[in-house]
Amino acid sequence: AQSVAQPEDQVNVAEGNPLTVKCTYSVSGNPYLFWYVQYPNRGLQFLLKYITGDNLVKGSYGFEAEFNKSQTSFHLKKPSALVSDSALYFCASRRDKLIFGTGTRLQVFP
Amino acid sequence: DSGVTQTPKHLITATGQRVTLRCSPRSGDLSVYWYQQSLDQGLQFLIQYYNGEERAKGNILERFSAQQFPDLHSELNLSSLELGDSALYFCASSVLAGANNEQFFGPGTRLTVL
Q: What is the pLDDT of residues A65-81, one digit of tens each?
A: 999 999 999 999 999 99
Pick the more confident residue, B92 or B41: B92
Residue range B31-68, pLDDT digits in tens: 999 999 998 888 999 999 999 999 999 989 999 999 99
Name chain B contacts of A32, Cβ cutoff 8 Å: 99-100
Residue of higher predicted confidence among B18 and B40: B18
The contact set of A with B (CB < 8 A) is: 32, 34, 36, 41-46, 49, 51, 90, 94-100, 102-103
- What is the DSSP annotation of chain A? --EEE---SEEEEETTS-EEE--EEE-SSS-EEEEEEE-TTS-EEEEEEE-SS-SEEE-GGG-EEEEETTTTEEEEEESS--GGG-EEEEEEEESSSEEE---EEEEEE-
For A25, A47, A84, B13, the CA distances from B48, given in Å and listed in that order, are 22, 21, 32, 25
Confidence check: pLDDT of A1 > 80: no
Q: Is the peptide bond before B25 cis (omega within 30 degrees of 0)?
A: no
Please report which confidence band the pLDDT of residue A2 belongs to, taking 50, 70 and 90 as the band edges.
confident
Question: Taking residues A57-61, what's their average pLDDT?
Answer: 94
Cα–Cα distance, B48 to B53 (Å, whole number): 9
Average pLDDT, chain A: 94
Chain B residue numbers touching A43 (CB-CB < 8 A) = 2, 4, 90, 92, 105-108
At residue B94, the 3 state secondary structure works out as strand
- Residue pLDDT, tens place only, A13-57: 999 999 999 999 998 888 899 999 999 878 899 999 999 889 999
Whether residue B99 has pLDDT greater than 90 = no
pLDDT score recorded for residue A30: 80
Q: What is the pLDDT of residue B69?
A: 97
B61-88 b/e (C-beta count within 10 Å ≥ 16 → b): eeebebebeeebebbbebeebeeebbbb
What pLDDT score does B5 carry?
Answer: 97
pLDDT of residue A67: 95
Q: Choose the closest CB to A43 out of B56, B102, B105.
A: B105
Average pLDDT over residues A74-93: 97
A contact test, residue of B21, B32, B102 with most A CBs within 10 A: B102
* Between B2 and A36, residue with greater pLDDT: A36
The overall average pLDDT reported for chain B is 95
**B43 to chain A: which residues are within 8 Å by CB?**
44, 90, 100, 103
Percent of chain B with pLDDT over 70: 100
Distance from CA of B107 to the nearest CA of A (A): 4
- Write out chain A residues lying below 8 Å of B90, CB-based: 43-44
